[in-house]
Amino acid sequence: MGAIEYAIDNWDRLLEFALQHIGFVLLSIVIATVIGVALGVLTYQRPTAAALVIAVSATILTIPSFALFGLGITFFGIGNLGPVIGLILYSQLPIVRNTITGLQEVDPAVVESARGMGMSRWQSLWRIELPLAWPVVLTGVRVATLIVTSIFAIAAYVGASGLGREIDRGLSNLGAAWAFDVVLTATVAIVLVALVLDVLYMLIGKLTIPRGVRS
Amino acid sequence: MPASEADPPAMIRLEELTKYYPGSDEPAVDAVTMDIPEGEIVVLVGPSGCGKTTTLKMINRIVEPTSGRISLEGEDVTDVDPDRLRRRIGYVIQQVGLFPHRTIAQNIATVPRLLGWDKERITERVDELLELVGMDPATYGPRYPKELSGGQRQRVGVARAMAADPPVMLMDEPFGAIDPITRDRLQNEFLRLQQEIEKTIVFVTHDIDEAIKMGDRIAIFGNDHRIQQYASPEMLLSNPINEFVDAFTGTGASLKRLNLTRVRDVALSDWPTAASDSPREELQRRLAETEHSFLLLLDRQQRPLRWISERDLARSDWTHHGGLKVRAVVEPHVTLHNALDEMLTSNVGVATVVDERGAYQGVVDIDTVMTAVNAMRAETRERVRVAPWHGVTASDVADATESRA
Ligand SMILES: Nc1ncnc2c1ncn2[C@@H]1O[C@H](COP(=O)(O)OP(=O)(O)OP(=O)(O)O)[C@@H](O)[C@H]1O
Ligand SMILES: [Mg+2]
């Protein structure tokens, strides 16, 4: 198998690409989570606003990534900035939707008792509602991460880092004998990155979801 | 209706409190005026949808009144900052609403933390409260709500509401979703607790029996979202102001009144007793001396052991374990209703009363119950004539009596 040989011979290069890939994905996800949760918090009590935000983020997700990254060059030039912004946009649907659902599903009796004991709107949200919605929010973040891990590979053609570079290099040399092995290796590496990130989320879940709300 | 002079000062005063929910042209609560005296349990009772919960929630401004005033300890709180107001008022909602992601100890610590108490004081207070509601702090403090039974959660809900020692507690059907036996126990525990803490409590229920048991005063709401009658339980049962109240308090009013008297309030009857290690001849002699057909054997600590009859004593295989086991043992704090209930299941037809240590005090028999009922009747009649209570005047009573005659 040429691909295995290729991976063994080039493991340090591949590792570096993989780490870049993880880095940019996580950077985008952290920013996307802050924005998405904020949008969710602002809209979950207003059905029209919530429906609007969800519709807009769903529409964004239907834009082909190839086109979005290409358009990004116009504003951000070549490099990682445009793709990171693209990933943040693509992450919004699962994060916003799950934040809204999670907050709406908090038992109204719990919120009423929080307010009834004298917590302000903000205290109730921060100390009670968001922690209770957190497992659902985290699931949204996890799904978003899976989506953008694969989408980020495409951004290589506008100059982004990561494992997409390898796929890009392979695909542009498809006549050559080694090209197929390179594409295959990078693709498997992306799947592995996704798996590693998923394990990471399991750990985050274990550490951040209190025993009282774990199912 | 201002309080009459004999009443304790009003802790909470509601004046013409009215609520229209948005989009509704019928009030959810219509012109409710009442004084809630300090240190008493006032029960709001009435059919579903009559506005009990809404009234309660207007007191801590979870629901903002459409019109009317609310005062707390003489201060008008209709327009003060609701968050600050709420930290002075304990609140137990019907569904308990414990925070599932926080331990029992953290749940109870909620208001003290909001008030900025220091850690040590909070820990101390939490332990004290858990003990107060009969739960071991070391066992239950670190648990999460889902690790408790329904009844235990209710108690934690009550403990949490009492955490910062608020003078006022609002309780919306706090014992609603519990089986009757546990509910009865929680009610008794709560009444015992109230004797110590003497809070001003507004208590909502739709169960008239619970209202009669728990309330120092009861406000009956009607389907018109207004208070029909606000009076002591005795008054409601003996002098319902209109047909609605009469129907709502229901049949069996006399039986319900037995809930108003406790065993410790009545004169107990005597019963012949003997030490369980007395010789057979002496027991036979004792029994022959009385007109009762059973003798009650007590152990050295005066605790009731067995009922023995002449036949038991005549048996050739007589031992001190002969006769019948003593059932239907009650403590002085139970209601006459409970005692009557026990009495009917006992094999001798009396309920045996013991003190906390289990020592024999006397018995409740049917005569005890009858005497108590007659005394209550006489007492209420007297009260109506001398000092008519809120909303009921002597002429109302006369009317009610006439219309039923
Ligand atoms: N948030 C709300 N919005 C609109 N209407 C409401 C709201 N809450 C209660 N109502 C209406 O106000 C009336 C009184 O309701 P409330 O909850 O005070 O009744 P309740 O006496 O507590 O009844 P229950 O015994 O069923 O709890 C009802 O007709 C109810 O439908
Ligand atoms: Mg209600």
What pLDDT does residue A1 have? 56
Q: Min CA distance, B92 vs chain A (Å)?
A: 7
Dist CA A49 CA A44 (whole Å): 8
Chain A residues inside the 8 Å CB shell of B101? 128, 131-132, 210, 212-213
For chain A, list residues whose CB is within 8 angstroms of any CB belonging to chain B.
Answer: 107, 109-120, 123, 128, 131-132, 210-213
pLDDT classification of B98: cutoffs 50, 70, 90: very high
Whether pLDDT at B389 is above 50: no
Contact B60 A109 (CB under 8 A): no
What pLDDT does residue B403 have? 41
User: Is the Cβ atom of B53 under 6 angstroms away from ligand 1?
Assistant: yes
Whether pLDDT at B158 is above 80: yes
Q: Name which of A113, A127, A209 to mutate to probe chain B: the one with the most chain B Cβ atoms within 10 A of its Cβ.
A: A113
Q: Does an H or E element contain A170, and which?
A: helix A164-172
Of residues A136 and B193, which shows the higher confidence score?
A136
With contact defined as beta carbons under 8 Å apart, do A24 and A161 qualify?
yes
What pLDDT does residue B382 have? 59
Q: What is the pLDDT of residues B262-283, one digit of tens each?
A: 888 888 888 889 888 888 888 8
Of residues B109 and B325, which shows the higher confidence score?
B109
Of residues A122 and B10, which shows the higher confidence score?
A122
Those residues with Cβ within 8 angstroms of residue A102's Cβ, 6 or more apart along the chain or in another chain? A40, A132, A133, A134, A135, A136, A137, A140
Chain A residues inside the 8 Å CB shell of B117? none
What pLDDT does residue B239 have? 86
Of residues B183 and B131, which shows the higher confidence score?
B131
Closest atom of ligand 1 to CA, residue B50: 21
User: Is the Cβ atom of B51 under 6 angstroms away from ligand 1?
Assistant: yes
Contact B96 A132 (CB under 8 A): no
Q: Considering only CA atoms, which residue is closest to atom 16 of ligand 1? A: B51
Chain B residues inside the 8 Å CB shell of A213? 100-101
Averaged pLDDT of chain B: 86
Measure CB to CB from residue B100 to each of A115, A123, A212 and give the nearest one: A212
What pLDDT does residue B7 have? 60
What pLDDT does residue B228 have? 96
Dist CA A28 CA B126 (whole Å): 44
- Ligand closest to the CA atom of residue B222: 1
Whether pLDDT at B332 is above 70: yes
Dist CA B234 CA B217 (whole Å): 9
Most confident of B34-38, B181-185, B312-316, B367-371: B34-38
With contact defined as beta carbons under 8 Å apart, do B302 and B360 qualify?
yes
Dist CA B297 CA B274 (whole Å): 5
Whether pLDDT at B81 is above 50: yes
Beta bridge partners of B18: B67
B140 touches chain A (CB under 8 A): no
Whether pLDDT at B10 is above 90: no
Q: What is the pLDDT of residues B168-189, one digit of tens each?
A: 999 999 887 677 877 888 888 8
What pLDDT does residue B8 have? 63
Chain A residues inside the 8 Å CB shell of B99? 110, 113-114, 128, 132
Write out chain A's pLDDT in tens, 215 residues.
Answer: 588 888 888 889 999 999 999 999 999 999 999 999 999 999 999 999 999 999 999 999 999 999 999 999 999 989 999 999 999 999 999 999 999 999 999 999 999 999 999 999 999 999 999 999 999 999 999 999 999 999 999 999 998 899 999 999 989 888 888 888 899 999 999 999 999 999 999 999 999 998 888 87
Residue in chain A closest to B60 (alpha carbons) equals A116
Whether pLDDT at B402 is above 60: no
B110 touches chain A (CB under 8 A): yes
Q: Compute the C-alpha angle B110/B112/B114, nearest 5°.
A: 70
What pLDDT does residue B204 have? 96
Q: Min CA distance, B228 vs chain A (Å)?
A: 28
Whether pLDDT at B401 is above 80: no
What pLDDT does residue B254 have? 66
- How many angstroms does the Cα of residue A64 sit away from the middle of ligand 2? 53
**Closest Cα to residue B272, out of B258, B252, B292?**
B292
Closest atom of ligand 1 to CA, residue B55: 18
What pLDDT does residue A118 have? 92
Mean pLDDT value across residues B150-174: 92
What pLDDT does residue B9 have? 73
Question: DSSP secondary-structure letter at A127?
Answer: I
